[in-house]
Amino acid sequence: MRTIPGIGMQTAVRICALYRSRNFTSAAQMAAFVGLVPKMHESGQQRGRVMLSKKGSAVLRAALYLPAVVSKKYNPDIAAQYARLLQRQKTPMQALGAAMRKLVHICFGVLKHQTVYQSRQLEISATGA
């Protein structure tokens, strides 16, 4: 977990504890448990803003906020996603919420496969695709 840019010791411990205490079958399930899934507010013809559901653990969401801020600068995968979302006219907080969710997905993959983190952006640039 410590190989993921932006994830420090305390965050790694919290995410590992969450992963080991639950039987998550997918990264999306883990992100939903933390409350990092989009929720649409709409009524009749009126469509509201899309926001995070916040139905999960507020403590874990708070623990992922600062790592997401750090990751948008030092993690190439998150930085690329953050920039792409800003280009699509998303607000900085929406892009940061997506970064938090992506961090959960990355952490889930590292824990499930018991491997070190390898940036997909580096793989893409190495293959020239």
Per-residue pLDDT of the chain (129 residues; tens, 9 = 90+): 889 999 999 999 999 999 999 989 999 999 999 989 877 776 777 666 777 777 888 889 899 999 999 999 999 999 999 999 999 999 999 999 999 999 999 999 999 999 999 987 655 555 555
Would residue 97 count as lying in a domain? Answer: yes
Q: Which domain holds residue 101?
A: 9-127
Would residue 30 count as lying in a domain? Answer: yes
pTM for the full predicted model: 0.84
Enumerate long-range contacts of 11-18, CB under 8 Å, 24 or more apart.
11/63, 11/64, 11/67, 14/59, 14/60, 14/63, 15/60, 15/104, 15/107, 15/111, 16/111, 18/57, 18/60
Q: Show the DSSP H helices in the chain as ranges.
A: 9-21, 27-34, 58-74, 76-87, 92-113, 120-127
Would residue 41 count as lying in a domain? Answer: yes
Would residue 82 count as lying in a domain? Answer: yes
Give how many domains the chain has, as a whole number: 1
Q: Round to whole Å and give the CA distance between 94 and 100.
A: 10
Would residue 2 count as lying in a domain? Answer: no
